[in-house]
Chain A
């Protein structure tokens, strides 16, 4: 059974960089697309971007200038960096696996990690 676990600081100061890692267990990270998705408190879901295990990426246009997603296949991990954060970036951040294509559904999700942007 594939499991995903997000990790990283729960508090980030405004203008700094948010960094999270998703560790995949119970299966290989290879040959799949992996996404980051966030949900501000009380609001809906927003796709941030995805990466394929070859390293190719695709980002939400609204966040593209501030987002970097990378992968470390040797550790079965992929990571998110979001720069110049503001209070609007406060959200629950989820990592998720694409079932079988870049444009497909997300079949496995992490439990999520809450990141608060505050001084």
Chain B
């Protein structure tokens, strides 16, 4: 039932930069609702990584950055590290559903 589309997987070598896209529509991201990103390490609960499109909570390395434009958003990881191997989800609010929506999820693999 995900209405936000992400690539299933992205990969990169240590030190490289990877980006994850999150594509929505005019009823969620395009309607002006903020996008938030979560990191889910294996066997753990999701952790807030980026909120309100581009703000990092305290303790999140500045290697992680977010942006939003039109009906899409992106998460970038620069200087990729082995510990970044995880699943990443975007999240927003949808006016048509009157509720929260998550992205399909992206698995990041460090080669």
Contact = CB atoms under 8 A, between A and B. Distances in A.
B46 A58 contact: no
Q: How large is the interface on A (under 10, 10 to 19, 20 to 34, 35 or more residues)?
A: 20 to 34
A47 B33 contact: no
Contacts, number: 64
Q: How large is the interface on B (under 10, 10 to 19, 20 to 34, 35 or more residues)?
A: 20 to 34
Contacts of B89: 44-45
A46 B36 contact: no
Interface of A: 35, 44-47, 49-50, 58-62, 94, 99, 103-107, 109-112
Interface of B: 1-2, 33-34, 36, 38, 44-48, 51-52, 57, 89, 91, 93, 97-105
7 contacts: A46-B102, A50-B100, A60-B97, A103-B33, A103-B93, A104-B34, A109-B46
